[in-house]
Amino acid sequence: MWAAGPGDGEGPAPRGAGRAGQGPPGRRARAERSDPDRGATGSPERGTPEEQARAICLRLLTGSPRTRKQLGDALHKRGIPEEVAQEVLSRFEEVGLIDDAAFAGAWVESRHHSRGLARRALVRELRTKGVESTLIDEAVAGLDSEQEEETARELVDRKLRSTRGLERDKRIRRLAGMLARKGYPEGMALRVVRRALEEEGEDTEDLGYGYE
């Protein structure tokens, strides 16, 4: 396993940093926090392309887990030759520093419980991060329809109070729309919302089959 050292670009800031035209240090720090790749791709690296690639990857992985594609994109942005980038990324996979399967599993667990995202939304997010379809399927396999519906009910229960006083149909659109944005199928969303309104005493018998 590699460790970052003086040759990996972790040394002191270049002379003149913070002078006029570059902005105060506090502003630069805030900018780097808002763009997590900036510290790895915007600072000068020393050494061979392989050493530079290793330093970039290690710095990014120190902040949070990344997929192979995310790291590959960062190396490409920094101008690392493709063959060097792929060699370093493969080596990181061999030693367990890159693990897209573990990343996908942790992502599903975190985003489902913290934000209530449904399977459809989680699949979409993982695709944008470059996770392979087979790994995505494995990661979301544990989310069955019963668990999704239970989470949808919890989301509606938390939102329900803020919709009181609105017309029934407007409440339905607002609550079902919230679930749709989180990736829940329309049928499930409407079923959960209807049940929640019925428990409050709302009359939903005239809603028709579209709300079943």
Q: Average pLDDT over the chain, rounded to whole? A: 82
pLDDT > 60? residue 13: no
pLDDT > 50? residue 39: no
- Is 84 exposed, middle or buried (CB count within 10 Å of its CB: 0-12, 13-18, 19+)? middle
pLDDT > 70? residue 212: no
Position 3 confidence tier, pLDDT thresholds 50, 70, 90: very low
Helices and strands in the chain: count of H runs, count of E runs: 11, 0
Residue 164 falls in which region: left (phi positive, over 0), alpha (psi -120 to 50) or beta: beta
Position 73 confidence tier, pLDDT thresholds 50, 70, 90: very high
| Average pLDDT of span 16-30 | 45
At 121-160, the pLDDT tens digits run 999 999 999 999 999 999 999 888 899 999 999 999 999 9
**126, 136 Cβ separation under 8 angstroms:** yes
pLDDT > 60? residue 9: no
* pLDDT of amino acid 128: 96
Q: Which two tokens stand for residue 174?
A: 């607002």
- Is 59 exposed, middle or buried (CB count within 10 Å of its CB: 0-12, 13-18, 19+)? buried
* pLDDT of amino acid 8: 40
